[in-house]
Amino acid sequence: MNAGTIRQQIMAVLKEGEWGVRELSQRLGVAEKDVITHLPYVQRSLAGSGTPLVIREAFCWACGFTFKGRGRFTRPGRCPRCRRTRIEPPAFHVA
């Protein structure tokens, strides 16, 4: 698959539901790091088409801390509040 095809497929899947990088990787058969590489382009292209990418921010299972406004697609390594590493990665969908 070329980059454009992958991006179109990511957009199509994001219209079906909310997914994290791992789920997108599994559904599309694309490496997680490639999904992370493509997401900023997908986000820009969606913003231009009037159906913006919605990000459910990563949060900490231990203390409930939400990584608000982080604006990144990767999973945070550690909670800044309680220092634990049980972090739910961010998830994405198209409204």
Interface pick for Zn ion out of 1, 12, 31, 63 (rule CB under 5 A): 63
Task: Name, in order, each residue with C-beta under 8 angstroms of 82's C-beta and a sequence gap of 6 or more.
Answer: 60, 62, 63, 65
Q: Which residue lies nearer to Zn ion by CB, 50 or 69?
A: 69
Nearer to Zn ion, 33 or 81 (CB): 81
Between residues 44 and 83, which has the closer beta carbon with respect to Zn ion?
83
| Widest pairwise Cα distance in the chain | 41
Could you tell me which of 54, 49, 47, 48 has the C-alpha nearest to residue 19?
Answer: 54
- Residues in touch with Zn ion (CB under 5 A): 60, 62-63, 65, 79, 81-82
